[in-house]
Amino acid sequence: MQAIQHLRRFPAQQPLLFLLLAIAVWFLLYRSLIPASEALVAALPVERDSHLGGALQFFFYDTPKVLLLLTGIVFVMGIIHTFISPERTRAMLSGKRLGVGNAMAATLGIVTPFCSCSAVPLFIGFLQAGVPLGVTFSFLISAPMVNEVALILLFGLFGWQVAALYLLMGLLIAIFAGMLIGKLNMEDHLEDWVRKMQNTQSAGNVGASAMSWAERVQHGFAHVREIVGKVWPYIVVGVGLGALIHGFVPE
């Protein structure tokens, strides 16, 4: 019992060492997926070259692969989110000219942790910080459109080409939509209260600089529990359907 409690406290006591060990274990598990899936199929009373054997190998390989990719990326993004605050984002985007600012804003929109409930305060805060309206819209468009979880799922299920197309299209739409809004010079259409209203932050924001590495690791765990804990049944079902198609539907 004491050993289990010590293991539970290990990430908080030695967060950087835990991260190094977690990375090593993750890569070890990922590299063992193919031999493990082949061994599982070989242990079953089915022919590997049969339709059922191919479907089972696909399922045994792709299910843990997608879950590993999703868990790893979500954990990393959870830690990255602790370094990003609305103030830091506004500072990075303020004063950027059209085009460069739109591309930077669209890219930041992908990795920032701000939910839809933060959209209005962020919008007002960006404008108050001197971020152009078009650049602000590039950020607000890309943030909900390009999701890192969907990106990893697409990569795991359909390959890097589909994932790259999803990422590229989301970025291009956000960049060019923001540039179009910037070219239209729509700042004059903003209500007066928008410029005067003092920016407020959502209650969930935490000062990025005040967090320790132990807290960042815990935030990564919470991010995994929140996202992976909700979507894993759908992943299993989706990969199962893909396995049936892979094994039984002619190419």
Q: Which residues contact 2 (CB under 8 A, 6 or more apart)?
A: none
DSSP letter string over 157-214? HH-HHHHHHHHHHHHHHHHHHHHHHHHTTGGGGS-HHHHHSPP---TT---GGG--HH
Tell me the C-alpha distance between 82 and 168, whole Å. Answer: 26
SS3 (DSSP) at 71: helix
For 67-108, how does the pLDDT look when each residue is reduced to its tens digit (9 = 90+)?
888 888 888 877 877 776 666 666 666 666 667 888 888 887
For 149-207, how does the pLDDT look when each residue is reduced to its tens digit (9 = 90+)?
788 778 877 888 998 999 999 999 999 998 998 888 877 777 665 555 434 443 344 44
Among candidate residues 216, 234, 241, the one with its CA nearest the CA of residue 150:
234
For 47-58, how does the pLDDT look when each residue is reduced to its tens digit (9 = 90+)?
888 888 889 999
Residue 141 burial by CB count (10 A; 0-12/13-18/19+): exposed, middle or buried? buried
- Share above pLDDT 70 across residues of the chain, in percent, rounded to a whole number: 75
Tell me the C-alpha distance between 234 and 221, whole Å. Answer: 20
Q: Is 100 left (phi over 0), alpha (psi -120 to 50) or beta?
A: alpha
Q: Are 134 and 208 in contact (CB under 8 A)?
A: no
Q: Quick one: tokens of 28?
A: 């070890």
For 107-146, how does the pLDDT look when each residue is reduced to its tens digit (9 = 90+)?
877 776 555 555 555 666 677 666 788 888 888 888 778 8
